[in-house]
């Protein structure tokens, strides 16, 4: 006797798979899942509690065990990528020759409360330990002397990335600086985007175009 089994996959599972795969910027062909095949999620192999052969009698509890394992793995992948992107809607004055943390009053997105727009607005805070990609950008106003500098600071003391440029590298418009790093953070570690210059008097970081100033962080691995 042949048993035909129809499996209806919850749309929530499909949606979560799509979100995970889109964030990894990969093109995935999702195969048909059969009882006798291995269950595989791209980038993470899943071990089934039960494997079946032709003509096996399959219980509901065994089926549930297999699909519960799949649900758990998908939920784990979906929750891995804490991410935040913040900006500021106003120009920010940076004192001369003073490394200054940039505040951010606007959240483009924040998946797990990594930023607060009212308290410690300069900080992006890790809620999970792991490896993070941290990126910042700012445009300094056009003034014809000195250097412009961005740094990423961890926990108020440790500088983990820096970028400096002389004004002559961009002497006809606002000078843009970009900075990025990969760094392993512990729970409650925080990072700040720091700005400095030596023009002689205070200088503005220009707000606008959805690209200045911005500060972003995403968890990419354990």
- How many separate domains does the chain show? 2
Q: Are residues 101 and 190 in the same domain?
A: yes
| pLDDT given for residue 24 in this prediction | 37
| pLDDT given for residue 78 in this prediction | 57
> Which residues neighbour 31 within 8 Å (Cβ) at sequence distance 6 or greater?
37
State the pTM of this model: 0.69
Which residue from 94, 91, 208 is spatially nearest to 146, judged by alpha carbons? 94
Q: Are residues 96 and 74 in the same domain?
A: no
| pLDDT given for residue 2 in this prediction | 41
Summarize pLDDT for 90-128 with one digit per residue, the tens. 999 999 999 999 999 999 999 999 999 999 999 999 999
For the beta carbon of residue 69, count every other beta carbon within 10 angstroms. Answer: 16
Summarize pLDDT for 167-202 with one digit per residue, the tens. 886 666 788 999 999 999 999 999 999 999 999 999
Q: Are residues 172 and 203 in the same domain?
A: yes
pLDDT category of residue 28 using cuts at 50, 70 and 90: very low
Q: Are residues 142 and 103 in the same domain?
A: yes
Q: Are residues 197 and 209 in the same domain?
A: yes
> Which residues neighbour 89 within 8 Å (Cβ) at sequence distance 6 or greater?
105, 106, 207
Average confidence score pLDDT of the chain: 81
Is 2 a member of any domain? no
**21 vs 100 pLDDT, higher one:** 100
In the DSSP assignment, the letter for residue 212 is: B
| pLDDT given for residue 77 in this prediction | 62
Q: Are residues 60 and 115 in the same domain?
A: no
> What mean pLDDT is predicted for residues 147-160?
98
> What mean pLDDT is predicted for residues 6-28?
44
Asked whether residue 75 carries a pLDDT value surpassing 60, the answer given is yes
In the DSSP assignment, the letter for residue 68 is: H
| pLDDT given for residue 57 in this prediction | 85
Cα–Cα–Cα angle for 150, 151, 154, nearest 5°? 155
Pairwise CA distance, residues 127 & 219, whole Å: 10
């Amino acid at each position: 006797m042949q048993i035909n089994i129809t499996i209806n996959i919850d749309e929530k599972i499909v949606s979560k798979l799509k979100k995970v795969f889109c964030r990894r910027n990969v093109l995935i062909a999702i195969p048909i899942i059969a009882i006798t095949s291995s269950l595989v999620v791209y980038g993470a192999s899943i071990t089934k509690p039960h494997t079946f052969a032709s003509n096996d009698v399959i219980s509901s509890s065994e089926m549930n065990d297999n699909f519960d394992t799949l649900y758990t793995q998908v939920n784990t992948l979906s929750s891995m990528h804490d991410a935040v992107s913040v900006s500021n809607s106003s120009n920010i004055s940076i004192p001369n020759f003073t490394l200054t943390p940039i505040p951010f009053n606007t959240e483009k997105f924040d998946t797990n409360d990594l930023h607060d727009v009212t308290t410690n607005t300069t900080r992006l805070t890790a809620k999970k330990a792991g490896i993070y990609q941290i990126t910042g950008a700012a445009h300094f106003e056009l003034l014809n002397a000195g250097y412009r500098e961005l740094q990423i600071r961890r926990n108020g003391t440790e500088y983990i990335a820096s970028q400096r440029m002389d004004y002559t590298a961009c002497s006809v418009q606002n000078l843009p600086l970009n900075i990025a790093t990969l760094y392993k953070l512990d729970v409650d570690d925080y990072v700040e985007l720091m700005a400095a210059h030596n023009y002689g008097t205070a200088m503005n970081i220009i707000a606008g175009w959805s690209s200045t100033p911005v500060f972003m962080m995403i968890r990419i691995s354990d």
